[in-house]
Amino acid sequence: WPGLLQVQSVGSPLSDGVRDRIERLLKVRIYENYGLSEVGIVASRCPYGQYHWHPEHCYVEVLNNDDELCASGEIGRVVITVLSNLVMPLIRYETDDRVLAEDSCDCGMTLPVLGKIIGRHSALEQIDPKALEAANILRRALEKLPLKFEKSLLQYQIHQHMESGFELRLVLTNTLTTDFEGYIQSVWSCSGFDQDVLKISQVEDIPRVVNH
């Protein structure tokens, strides 16, 4: 990619594995912001991986279920007071987002730290924590594949059926090999679920999901 200096990601936060893979393949750094359509840019990610929020624009609190500030290392909900919108003030606005609270960063910036973005609470609260961790085990393994498998993987999707367990859908450049399938099954053995609970399917395409 001659001439490409940097990449700006927009929308959902990238996982560490996806970010590392893109930066490794494109040989450029990815810049990420955290924002809301009703607020604008709230925070920017520094080279050390932390998000720093902008106090001239908003005031951010990370609160627990008792409405108290979270200590460093705790997961809490993001509550924002907007300081720069005089037309429609938002005071202690519940974003429904969850972050891992941090109180410092080694990057040297003096901007306050927001921490790692976890995601929308409403999208995660209905998921069994055991099932979520099993899916995360698969996701982390697929994002850090051995080189002999990495080049063949174009897309993947982890789907949990209501009654029949999990399905891992793969879009590959070639036919799924027994080595690749064996690697996935070995990773799945750490999930706490039986081997037959996971079905591995090679598909032609994975349609994008439209959020309403």
Question: What pLDDT, in 10s, does the model give residues 117-138?
Answer: 887 655 555 566 677 778 888 8
CA-wise closest residue to 118 among 3, 1, 13, 6 = 13
- Amino acid letter, residue 149: F
Q: Identify the residue whose tokens are 């850090």.
A: 144
Residue 212: predicted pLDDT = 45
Report the distance separating Cα 149 and Cα 200, nearest Å.
15
Residue 29: predicted pLDDT = 86
Report the distance separating Cα 19 and Cα 34, nearest Å.
15
Residue 89: predicted pLDDT = 83
Residue ranges in the chain modelled with pLDDT below 70: 1, 120-129, 162-164, 209-212
Q: Enumerate residues 6+ apart whose C-beta is below 8 A from 139.
A: 15, 17, 158
Claim: this prediction has a pTM higher than 0.85: no
Residue 47: predicted pLDDT = 85
Report the distance separating Cα 38 and Cα 156, nearest Å.
31
- For residue 46 the two structure tokens come to 């520094």
Q: Using one digit for the tens of pLDDT, what is the confidence trace for 81-118?
A: 999 888 888 999 998 888 888 888 888 888 998 888 88
